[in-house]
Amino acid sequence: MSDTHAQTVAFVRESMVPPADPPLGETGIFKWVRENLFSSWLNVLLSVLSIAFVVWALAHLLPWFLQSVWDAGSLTECREIRDARYGEGAASACFAVITERWNQLLFGFYPPEHYWRPVLAFVLFLVAVSPVLFQGLPRRLLAFTAIYPFIGYWLLWGGTIWGPLLVIAGFVIGWGAFRLAEPRLGTLAAAIAAILLPLAWWFFAVGPIAGDLAQIAPIGLVRIGSGDFGGFMLAFIIGVAGIALSFPLGILLALGRQSHLFIINKSCVGFIEIIRGVPLIVWLFTASLLLNYFLPPGTNFDLMLRVIIMVTLFAAAYMAEVIRGGLAALPRGQYEAADALGLDYWKAMRLIILPQALKISIPGIVNTFIGLFKDTTLVVFIGLLDPIGLSNAIRASTEWNGIYWELFVFIGLLFWICCFSMSRYSMYLERKLETGHR
């Protein structure tokens, strides 16, 4: 090759080609549609069928919602308004039943003049759980979290204020007994004293003392029996109580099932397998009918309290298996690391093992919570008027006989809001605790 030719051929770029936009089919919505909806002939077929179904469903549902009637005194009046506005037989929802009976669906037969009490109890509940769910809040709020169950009970059921205060005093007695007895008698004897003394106080002293104090200083709210509870408030109380109580009990059962002590291990295994092997509805019937046969004659054991106990035990059995899965998924090296640090069993569990096991178990735990909350609708079969039970009572009235979907849409929306909130919080918690290890 000659020198002249070598000098005229450029091997090094002296100017850049101006950038060009990517093809239209490789950006934005066009790329997403091509990759997710029409990437193959099967996806094309499924996408077309799905879009056709959505269009068909919206064509039937949107007129039903958009042409709904919100102000009427009965189903007959609702249909008359529909015929006058949209024509005879037009698709129209009669949400007037929600407008008229929303308070009954939410509060049951709770006296209307006392609605402020469950509303205040709900607001205080949100304040009480906030420091547990979110780390950025002041830790001082945990003191309010600890006493909220007694405040919530007093607001909802009413009665003298001395009863809840004396119950709190029982916990103080147990704590004081443990602190005084541990240096002299040892941890086991101190723990037994811390359990027996509060039980004796609650069973034998709280009632008489509360009655005497109520005579001297009658401070309290109007007493409202459990028979007046109903609607979504009833489902919320049973669900929240079951969730709050079953979680620590499930942790203890999971640890007990992994214990090397024969009696503790077999007792926990037997409890978990018996509870999980029987449907919840059977346990609810047990709480409603059979439990009274084992109580002393004349004992008035509140049905709502019996249901809360049974729901708690049922959820705790499932919670124990979820947490046991988290404990089993933890590498053996974590247990060995705790031993190498010289930690005893409880410190190892509290500081190293349980935090990691609970993190692994978050999806299963929240799934159990959501299932428990939805299962509260089963109490309708034992005579408690939850939202489903009240919807049946409303549909049986002469004014609203024949209405159906509107009530269940409203009830389903309430349950969806609560369950979706729990699901989103679990996702937030998983992202917050993500350490980057897979």
Contact 136, 175 (CB under 8 A): no
Q: How buried is residue 385: exposed, middle or buried, by Cβ count under 10 Å (0-12/13-18/19+)?
A: buried
Return the higher-pLDDT residue of 153 and 434. Answer: 153
CA dist list (Å): 175 to 190, 219, 314: 10, 27, 29
Q: What percent of the chain has pLDDT over 70?
A: 92
Instruction: Flag the least confident range among 18-32, 165-179, 262-276.
Output: 18-32
Please indicate, yes or no, if residue 102 is contained in any of the structural domains: no
**Res 438 pLDDT > 50:** no
Domain range for 1 is 1-58
Instruction: Flag the least confident range among 74-83, 237-246, 339-348, 383-392.
Output: 339-348
Q: Which residues pair with 159 in a beta bridge?
A: 221
Residue recorded with tokens 């669900």: 239
Return the higher-pLDDT residue of 137 and 326. Answer: 326
Instruction: Flag the least confident range among 11-25, 118-132, 165-179.
Output: 11-25
Please indicate, yes or no, if residue 327 is contained in any of the structural domains: yes
Q: What is the mean pLDDT of the chain?
A: 84
Quote the pLDDT of residue 24.
59
pLDDT tens digits for range 204-251: 888 888 888 888 888 888 999 888 898 899 999 999 999 988 998 999
Write the CATH number for 306: 1.10.3720.10
Structurally, the chain folds into a number of domains equal to 2
Residues whose CB is less than 8 angstroms from the CB of residue 78 and which lie 6 or more positions away in sequence, other chains included: 69, 72, 94, 96, 97
Q: How many CA atoms lie within 13 A of 331 on its CB side?
A: 5
Please indicate, yes or no, if residue 295 is contained in any of the structural domains: yes
Of the candidates 171, 278, 300, 284, the one whose C-alpha atom is nearest the C-alpha of residue 238 is 284
Residues whose CB is less than 8 angstroms from the CB of residue 404 and which lie 6 or more positions away in sequence, other chains included: 395
Quote the pLDDT of residue 183.
78
Q: Which DSSP helix (H) or strand (E) runs through 206? A: helix 206-216
Please indicate, yes or no, if residue 412 is contained in any of the structural domains: yes
Instruction: Flag the least confident range among 120-124, 346-350, 363-367.
Output: 346-350
Please indicate, yes or no, if residue 175 is contained in any of the structural domains: no
Quote the pLDDT of residue 428.
87
Instruction: Flag the least confident range among 137-151, 265-279, 283-297.
Output: 283-297
pLDDT tens digits for range 114-164: 999 999 999 999 999 888 888 777 878 888 888 999 999 999 998 888 888
Of 58, 73, 104, which residue constitutes the final position of a domain? 58
Q: Which DSSP helix (H) or strand (E) runs through 174? A: helix 162-185
CA angle 431, 434, 436 (to 5 degrees): 130
Given pLDDT bands bounded at 50, 70 and 90, which one contains residue 316? very high
Please indicate, yes or no, if residue 122 is contained in any of the structural domains: no
Instruction: Flag the least confident range among 19-33, 173-187, 422-436.
Output: 19-33
Please indicate, yes or no, if residue 348 is contained in any of the structural domains: yes
Residue-by-residue DSSP string for 97-157: HHHHHHHHHHHTT--GGGTHHHHHHHHHHHHHHHHHH-TTS-TTHHHHHHHHHHHHHHHHH
Of 38, 58, 78, which residue constitutes the final position of a domain? 58
Of 58, 81, 97, which residue constitutes the final position of a domain? 58
CA angle 345, 346, 348 (to 5 degrees): 65
Please indicate, yes or no, if residue 154 is contained in any of the structural domains: no
